Amino acid sequence: MRDPDAYDVLIVGSGAAGLSLALALAARYRVVVLAKSVATESATLYAQGGVSAVMDHADSVESHIADTLAAGAGLCRREAVDFIVRHGRERIEWLIAQGVPFTTRVSKSGTVEFHLTREGGHSHRRVVHAADATGRAIEQTLLERVRGNPNITLLERHMAIDLITAGKLGRIPDRCIGAYVLDLERHCVRTLAARCSVLATGGAGKVYLYTSNPDVATGDGIGMAWRAGCAIANMEFVQFHPTCLYHPQAKTLLLTEALRGEGGHLVLANGERFMSRFDERGELAPRDVVARAIDHEMKRLGLDCVYLDVSHKPRDFLLEHFPTVYEACRQYGIDITRDPIPVVPAAHYLCGGVLTDLCGRTSLPGLYAVGEVACTGLHGANRMASNSLLECLVIADAAAQVIANALPNHDAIEGIPAWDESQVTDADEEVVVAHNWDELRRLMWDYVGIVRTTKRLQRARRRVELLHAEISEFYGNFRVTGDLIELRNLVQVAELIIRAALKRRESRGLHYTLDYPRQDDTNYRRDTVLRAGDFS
Ligand SMILES: Cc1cc2nc3c(=O)[nH]c(=O)nc-3n(C[C@H](O)[C@H](O)[C@H](O)COP(=O)(O)OP(=O)(O)OC[C@H]3O[C@@H](n4cnc5c(N)ncnc54)[C@H](O)[C@@H]3O)c2cc1C
């Protein structure tokens, strides 16, 4: 009889990347999908805008490519941009075939077509969406298909701890052969063997104090890949959204940029507007300029937040155009028709990640990475809006094809040792984890945020190294918990961001440092690739 914990493919993550990959492979193979929370909880669920693809005859693939390259500030991999953009339409059609209810409209000639929106950086309307909750529509539709597929096992509340590699077991050739996984309900560690494994774990926004990301975004895939010896690239490029609600109870409420587009003012507590001091376009300046200006004012004046004020707009207008924002703020006692909304910029998207080719292959045989966890070269130094879901879908499909072709060459894996808990006890002081978690996110926010300096980065590096040592010791001595696993990954991600930022002695795209304020194409028009041997 077959070992119940042995699968053809292990997919860690149930967002757009993981689910679409699972569906593509399940026709021929036995797939297991892990979600460390409930399966829907993912960045995918919260994506509002949509998926970019060339769907309009007035638009062109060349234009989408040119816009993406311009946003990426000289660091996009041309081949990746070309590949992903060219497959956009086909992936949208696949989503429609799965049942995703994208918003349509009736054209002047009476035909039904997809309603397309236009977002920052795009020179055409090319964002396909499902009202203002596109991610929810994608996540729920794909999940329903996954749940109905007998070849896919979905394990919710199962958190991957580490990848298992043949090399670490003293076998050759080295390849990924599965993962140790904590069952968060039963509090036991399971050994999952797989002929191929895929990281689809999403981003790492939780490494910063303020983030638009859900709680699951703790960079686990990057931490696991790094420990397994994979190359990690471009970690210095973190995209910050300028306006998230600042409220003790509101974890991740993003305030759409349309509020500024419709005339909202950014003000200090005394009502003074400040954006014109930074950019002649004022509140309509691009996302990174606005985020930088807010950060500057907060640091200069030691503020907890600034305010986004739309109260001068007619009440009916606000209720008609921003019903979701109105309702969400009202829950926290803020009436946007009367009160300025307290806001902070927040970590939103990680352009860097596990270095892969265009089929999701990492530098470790048998291991693939797809979605926000990966760095394919599409985004370069700055992500263009709505290109990330596109990347998830296109690379998942390409990865499915190479995995399906590769599987017949890989035998089932046997003899993986069980997780060893003989040397550890239950933690005596959980406060250590909670304290380090808070300290890490605060120091990343203060020293490795939107505007950087070498001095702040060096200070952050020293502190993160101390935290890293303490967390490793804790991990070595005590039984694993979900919080500890995530903290261990967060501190690793923090260290990689800091190392990468220190290496880039220029300002480019999302990486801005006061010590090197200009872009230096002579020396730095290249990826920052980190490998385990580069530093201990
Ligand atoms: C608020 C918000 C709005 C956005 N809007 C858009 C938009 O309009 N258009 C766009 O293109 N992009 C948007 N993005 C970005 C986009 O949503 C993400 O980049 C994309 O959804 C990532 O998908 P993913 O499948 O890679 O990861 P996710 O959707 O984040 O899924 C990650 C999965 O990995 C699982 N996981 C993580 N670690 C582990 C572990 N150790 N063990 C087991 N499971 C694990 C999680 O449980 C989860 O299931 C937005 C992001 C946010 C936060």
Predicted confidence band of residue 209 (pLDDT cuts 50, 70, 90): very high
Query: Helical H runs in 123-257?
Result: 134-147, 220-227
Q: For residue 49, how far is its CA from the centre of ligand 1 (angstroms)? A: 14
Q: Is the CB of 12 under 6 A from ligand 1?
A: yes
What count of residues does the chain have?
536
Predicted confidence band of residue 236 (pLDDT cuts 50, 70, 90): very high
Q: Ligand 1, residue 205: give the atom nearest the CA.
A: 53
Element housing 232 (H / E): strand 232-233
Token pair in block for residue 18: 């993981």
Task: Look up the pTM and report it.
Answer: 0.95
Q: Is the CB of 19 under 6 A from ligand 1?
A: no
What is the distance between the alpha carbons of residues 73 and 70, in angstroms, rounded to a whole number? Answer: 6
**Cα distances (angstroms) measured from residue 358 to each of 80, 387, 390, 399:** 7, 15, 13, 8
Has residue 249 got a pLDDT over 80? Answer: yes
Instruction: Identify residue 200 by its one-letter amino acid code.
Output: A
Token pair in block for residue 3: 């070992």
Residue pointed to by tokens 């050994």: 191
Whether the CB-CB separation of 462 and 490 falls below 8 Å is answered with no
* Mean predicted lDDT score pLDDT of the chain: 94
Q: Is the CB of 213 under 6 A from ligand 1?
A: yes
Element housing 343 (H / E): strand 341-350
Pocket-testing residue among 11, 19, 21, 34, ligand 1, by greatest number of atoms within 8 A of Cβ: 34
Has residue 35 got a pLDDT over 80? Answer: yes
pLDDT in tens, 473-529: 999 999 999 999 999 999 999 999 999 999 999 999 999 999 999 999 999 999 999
Q: Is the CB of 181 under 6 A from ligand 1?
A: no
Q: Is the CB of 389 under 6 A from ligand 1?
A: yes
Cβ contacts of residue 10 below 8 Å, gap of 6+?
31, 32, 34, 178, 179, 192, 194, 196, 197, 198
The larger pLDDT score, comparing residue 288 to residue 339, is at 339
Give the residues across from 309 on adjacent strands: 265
pLDDT in tens, 78-134: 999 999 999 999 999 999 999 999 989 898 889 998 988 887 788 888 999 998 789
pLDDT in tens, 398-414: 999 999 999 999 887 78
pLDDT for residue 320:
84
Element housing 441 (H / E): helix 431-447
What is the distance between the alpha carbons of residues 344 and 255, in angstroms, rounded to a whole number? Answer: 10
pLDDT in tens, 53-65: 999 999 999 999 9
Q: Ligand 1, residue 201: give the atom nearest the CA.
A: 34
Has residue 1 got a pLDDT over 80? Answer: no
Q: Is the CB of 378 under 6 A from ligand 1?
A: no
What is the distance between the alpha carbons of residues 222 and 492, in angstroms, rounded to a whole number? Answer: 8
Q: Which candidate in 126, 195, 287, 488 is catalytic?
A: 287
Does residue 147 carry a catalytic annotation? Answer: no
Q: For residue 334, how far is its CA from the centre of ligand 1 (angstroms)? A: 28
Cis preceding-peptide flag for 340 (omega within 30 of 0): no
pLDDT for residue 534:
74
Whether the CB-CB separation of 368 and 15 falls below 8 Å is answered with no
Has residue 2 got a pLDDT over 50? Answer: no
pLDDT for residue 535:
62
Whether the CB-CB separation of 277 and 267 falls below 8 Å is answered with no
Token pair in block for residue 102: 């994208």
Give the residues across from 535 on adjacent strands: none
Residue 421: what are its φ and ψ, rounded to 5°?
Answer: -110, 15
Q: What percent of the chain has pLDDT over 90?
A: 81
pLDDT for residue 490:
98
Q: Is the CB of 191 under 6 A from ligand 1?
A: no
Q: For residue 15, how far is its CA from the centre of ligand 1 (angstroms)? A: 6
